[in-house]
């Protein structure tokens, strides 16, 4: 097992790199960016595992170039950067990191909602700039009791709902199908959900069907007093439509952890006080990063020992 070659696609977490290095022969794709052909000639047939993340996963091109690839262990729960069909065809196993990051992502969703509605970041800027000396801040919007609509009532969506309920927020949701064991109000159409809630939270997986699921119609339904919170994927939202809605005051505000073109969010948003922008940090805590890394390692070790995978996707 110590000789098994593992390819890491990009820098993601120093602890993970170190742990992989002690257990396997770790090859860092970014160390070879200048000599790609040479790299593939030297290493491609020995690479048995790929560790990817939300920035650089395992697309068809990479998978095709690794003839002996056995497993892709993603340092993420999202699988949109992995060509799952290709993996299925080739019999390559795939693992991800569900559950360990659910709480952190749910916490951030609520944190972003509070930050946008209660203008936490704007207040902080106001104090730091010295403006408080000249006068009081003004009013924000109450969060407690606002209706919350969740797109995707999976693990993360359910935890967001549980937290919002503690603030007396009525909960409704949209997903592919109605969930059996819940009292939350279901909308089979996302536009109806948006029309009937004040805070829309995107928490579903990114697939072909959910690409741009938050489009102009949804944004219009949410309206000038509505707020969008996205902790899922930038591609869930038609970003140019979102930007123009915010600039024109057709949407009340947005809290965004993800963007269509990371690490470059739309600059037009930078001057707005009714948005909060964070750099894809949904699971970026010391505790969770370590737990995710440990899960990646455990999955790889299990694979190479011939034991059952802990969190297989396929």
| Distance separating alpha carbons of residues 304 and 38, to the nearest angstrom | 27
SS3 230: strand
Tell me if 17 contacts another protein by CB under 8 A.
no
Tell me if 136 contacts another protein by CB under 8 A.
yes
Indicate the residue among 115 and 202 with the shorter CB distance to another protein: 115
In the list 33, 42, 60, 145, the residue contacting another protein (rule: CB under 8 A) is: 145
In the list 110, 213, 251, 254, the residue contacting another protein (rule: CB under 8 A) is: 110
Tell me if 133 contacts another protein by CB under 8 A.
yes
Closest distance of CB 160 from another protein, Å: 10
Indicate the residue among 68 and 144 with the shorter CB distance to another protein: 144
Strand-pairing partners, residue 26, are: 6
One character per residue 233-272, x = contact with another protein (rule: CB under 8 A): -----------------------------xxxx-x--x--
| Distance separating alpha carbons of residues 80 and 314, to the nearest angstrom | 14
Tell me if 99 contacts another protein by CB under 8 A.
no
C-alpha distances (whole Å) from 110 to each of 81, 143, 199, 269 are: 26, 10, 10, 21
Q: Are 159 and 106 in contact (CB under 8 A)?
A: yes
Q: Are 187 and 173 in contact (CB under 8 A)?
A: yes
Closest distance of CB 268 from another protein, Å: 12
In the list 38, 68, 132, 188, the residue contacting another protein (rule: CB under 8 A) is: 132
Tell me if 56 contacts another protein by CB under 8 A.
no
C-alpha distances (whole Å) from 157 to each of 161, 162, 176, 217, 284 are: 6, 9, 13, 22, 18
- Residues that are catalytic: 233, 262, 280
Cα atoms in the 13 Å half-sphere on the side-chain side of 156: 27
Nearest Cα to 53, choosing from 95, 24, 22, 106? 95
Tell me if 126 contacts another protein by CB under 8 A.
yes
**Residue 153 burial (10 A CB sphere; 0-12, 13-18, 19+):** buried
Strand-pairing partners, residue 252, are: none
Closest distance of CB 250 from another protein, Å: 21
Tell me if 287 contacts another protein by CB under 8 A.
yes
Closest distance of CB 259 from another protein, Å: 9
Tell me if 36 contacts another protein by CB under 8 A.
no
Complete edge-to-edge strand list for the sheet that includes strand 47-52? 25-28, 5-8, 47-52, 71-74, 93-95
* Residues in binding contact with another protein, number by CB under 8 A: 54
- Provide the binding-site residues for another protein, judged by CB under 8 A: 11, 103-104, 107-108, 110-112, 114-115, 118, 120-121, 123-128, 132-133, 136-145, 162-163, 165-168, 262-265, 267, 270, 276-279, 281, 284-289
């Amino acid at each position: 097992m110590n000789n098994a070659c593992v390819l890491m696609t990009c820098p993601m977490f120093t602890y993970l790199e170190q742990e992989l290095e002690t257990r396997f022969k770790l090859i860092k794709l970014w160390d070879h960016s200048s000599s790609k052909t040479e790299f593939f000639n030297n290493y491609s047939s020995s690479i048995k595992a790929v560790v990817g993340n939300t920035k650089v996963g395992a697309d068809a091109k990479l998978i095709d170039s690794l003839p002996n690839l056995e497993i892709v262990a993603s340092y993420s729960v999202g699988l949109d950067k992995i060509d799952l069909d290709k993996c299925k065809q080739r019999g390559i196993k795939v693992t991800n990191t569900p559950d360990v990051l659910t709480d952190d992502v749910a916490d951030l969703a609520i944190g972003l909602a509070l930050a946008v509605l209660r203008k936490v970041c704007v207040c902080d800027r106001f104090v730091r700039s010295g403006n408080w000396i000249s006068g009081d801040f003004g009013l924000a919007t109450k969060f407690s009791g606002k209706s919350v609509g969740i797109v995707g009532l999976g693990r993360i969506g359910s935890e967001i709902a549980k937290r919002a309920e503690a603030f007396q927020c009525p909960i409704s949701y949209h997903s592919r199908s109605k969930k059996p064991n819940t009292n939350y109000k279901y909308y089979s159409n996302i536009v109806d959900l948006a029309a009937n809630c004040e805070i829309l939270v995107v928490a579903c997986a990114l697939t072909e069907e959910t690409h741009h699921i938050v489009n102009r119609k949804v944004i219009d339904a949410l309206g000038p007093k509505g707020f969008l919170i996205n902790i899922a994927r930038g591609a869930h939202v038609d970003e140019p439509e979102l930007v123009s809605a915010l600039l024109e005051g057709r949407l009340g505000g947005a809290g965004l952890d993800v963007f269509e073109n990371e690490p470059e969010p739309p600059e037009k948003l930078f001057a707005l006080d009714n948005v909060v922008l964070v750099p894809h940090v949904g699971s970026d805590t010391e505790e969770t990063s370590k737990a995710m890394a440990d899960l990646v390692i455990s999955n790889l070790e299990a694979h190479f020992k011939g034991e059952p995978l802990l969190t297989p996707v396929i």
